[in-house]
Structure 1
Amino acid sequence: MTKLIAPLLISTLVLSGCGGRFSDSGWNPLGWLGGGGGTPDGGSLEPEEGYASLADSRPGIPQITGARWEPLNEGRLLVVTAMAPTKGYNSVEIVTARPQPRGRISPDADGVLRLRMVGLPPLPDSEAARLPARAETDQITAAFALSYRQLAGITAIEIASASNVVTIRR
């Protein structure tokens, strides 16, 4: 019986140092040999080069023609339509104007979420670059989903293009 009590007592002592309020103390065996799970800058998960370097470098779509809300079960879908002078725009997307971690959308201090509609124009020597776009058939549409939790702090949304800004209220 005494042979079983000593290993149990030692393992309990070791495991108690791994978590809770003693996780940063000398009782934590993960820190005994200079290891540990902490980050070198004191706990920040921000990339070393910062979030600003993760900004989208695609040019803005030439002109936004409209924006509307569509209902979703867990929030709302912002649908934005735009026009370009030529056919062939691709990789169109709505991105935040201020770089933010993926999945964590937050408005600016004034409660306005600022977005950009970006996309890649056709190559200058391609046939699509020479064909003018028709308003009836060549609309560019992109959507941006927002949950009710993300919408809670937002009073308005501004979507910027290369030439205009459209504001939509919640």
Structure 2
Amino acid sequence: MTRLTLSLLIGTTILAGCGRLGDSGWNPLRWSGGRSAPADLAPEGGYLQATDPRPGVPQILAADWQPLAEGRLLVVRGFAPTKGYHSAELVTQRPQPGDRLSPDPDGVLRLRFVAAPPAPDSPAARLAADPVTDPIIVALPLSFTQLASIAAIEISAATGTILLRR
């Protein structure tokens, strides 16, 4: 019984040093020689600011929402004057780590609608595209968790911008 009481008394004394008496020598955070500053998890040179080299799609035709079981699907249709555009994608205007999609402080998620044009000497670059049969379509799934912090989505292309409210 004496051992249990002594162990509890020592444990209580150590825990008390971590509480209100944060400046005491019993506080384990002070054992390293001073107050610890909050850790910054950003890399030393900051995050890589890679920009997408693909140009914006020349024209946005439409943008709308499709329902999903876990959220919504953002579908954007664009048009280019010639056939052969490929690798279309919606990318964030502000570089973000990984595949994260977080809005700006004003609650607007800003995206760019980009696609790689055909090579200038390719046969597809010489063929005119038809907006009915040759649209450039891209989709981006957004979960309800991601949509909770987004008030609107702004999609920009080479010649215009569309704003979608939730």
TM-score w.r.t. structure 2 length?
A: 0.74
Partner Cα distance (1:127, 1:156) in 2: 39
Q: Name the residue aligned to 2:97.
A: 101
Q: Could you state the TM-score of these two structures normalised by the residue count of structure 1?
A: 0.72
TM superposition shift of 1:46: 3.3
Q: Within the alignment, does 1:54 sit opposite 2:50 as a pair?
A: yes
With 133-142 and 103-112 compared, the bigger mean Cα shift is at 103-112
Q: Deviations over 1:83-115 (max 9, x none)?
A: 000000011000111111223211111111100
Q: Does 1:71 align with 2:67?
A: yes
The correspondence for 2:129, drawn from 133, 158, 162, is 133
The offset of 1:24, in angstroms, is: 9.7
Q: Work out the number of aligned pairs and report it.
A: 135
Structure of larger gyration radius: 2
What's the counterpart of residue 148 of structure 1? 144
Name the SS of the counterpart of 1:51 in structure 2.
Answer: coil
Quote how far apart the aligned CAs of 1:74 are.
Answer: 1.2
1:163 counterpart = 2:159: yes
> What CA distance in whole angstroms lies between the structure 1 residues aligned with 2:134 and 2:159?
18
Structure 2 SS opposite 1:166? strand
- CA drift of 1:48 comes to 4.6
1:82 paired to 2:111 = no
Match 1:121 to one of 111, 117, 123:
117
With over 3 angstroms needed to count, the CA separation of the structure-2 counterparts of 1:44 and 1:64, relative to structure 1, is same
Q: Which residue pairs with 2:11 in the alignment? A: none
Q: Which moved more, 1:49-58 or 1:64-73?
A: 49-58
Q: Which ranges of structure 1 fall in alignment gaps of 5 or more residues?
A: 1-20, 27-41
User: Structure 1 residue 49: deviation in Å?
Assistant: 4.7
Among 86, 89, 92, which residue is 2:88 paired with? 92
Identity %: 56
Secondary structure of the structure 2 residue equivalent to 1:136: coil
**Where does the alignment leave 5 or more consecutive residues of structure 2 unmatched?**
1-26, 33-37
